[in-house]
Homo-oligomer: A and B are copies of this chain.
């Protein structure tokens, strides 16, 4: 069960080191600034529609305007910012149409990944589902502690790891962007509990189906899962949208 040979073990070690180096080696200023902004956006500190002033942020982040613009570009291509020519960068305001678009893609990608697992079942290493298991338990723990944003994060990670089973770098990248945009939508909704609670259990069910190698049923469940989630999000979105942004 311990992934076998010495050569593969050494390769895995080298790959781990390489990943760490790449992480420490990152383009510093620009990406570091992007990291801070990304967190601010995904955690809701910067609400949708907000404008990000250049001069203001250069002082806060202590980077030059050019570097800050490069950070903007990074986040723009993650879908977390939008450029309006000669007007600045803004946190995008997504609507129902975007929800439908995002979920259509989620269904296509995630369901295909799960369904595709059947073909390559034998070559799947043993511990491959471990990250999914961790995410399920993290979500349950966070729910017990009433930390619903953390539940949302664990849910995101679950689906990211699910896509990761396909070993497709481009699917991973796309999913990263999709989930980032989804986070944008979550922060418009002020009822994280009702939104996330049902999916803790469904994630566990999905995991158990995968573990039992019932891929076809897992795919079907996931499809319905995502349809339900889409409907719930649209419903919650309409409620909040009508009540307006006034929460004080």
Residues of A at under 8 Å CB distance from B? 25-27, 66, 69-70, 73-74, 77, 83, 85, 101-102, 104-105, 108-109, 112, 166, 168-171, 174, 178
Contact = CB atoms under 8 A, between A and B. Distances in A.
Nearest to A177: B170
Interface of A is mostly: helix
B168 A101 contact: yes
Copies in the complex: 2
Given A66-B66, A74-B73, A85 B25 contact: yes
27 contacts: A25-B85, A26-B85, A27-B83, A27-B85, A66-B66, A69-B70, A70-B70, A70-B73, A73-B73, A73-B74, A73-B77, A77-B77, A101-B168, A101-B169, A101-B170, A101-B171, A102-B170, A104-B166, A104-B168, A104-B171, A105-B168, A105-B171, A105-B174, A108-B108, A108-B109, A108-B112, A170-B178
Chain A to chain B: the 4 pairs with minimum beta-carbon distance, closest first: A77-B77, A73-B73, A108-B112, A66-B66
A208 B82 CA distance: 39
A233 B209 CA distance: 36
A99 B105 CA distance: 21
A102 B169 CA distance: 10
B70 A105 contact: no
Contact of A105 (B27, B77, B102, B170): B170
Given A101-B171, A102-B170, A108-B108, 11 more contacts: A26-B85, A70-B73, A73-B73, A73-B77, A77-B77, A101-B169, A101-B170, A104-B168, A105-B171, A105-B174, A108-B109
A26 B69 CA distance: 17
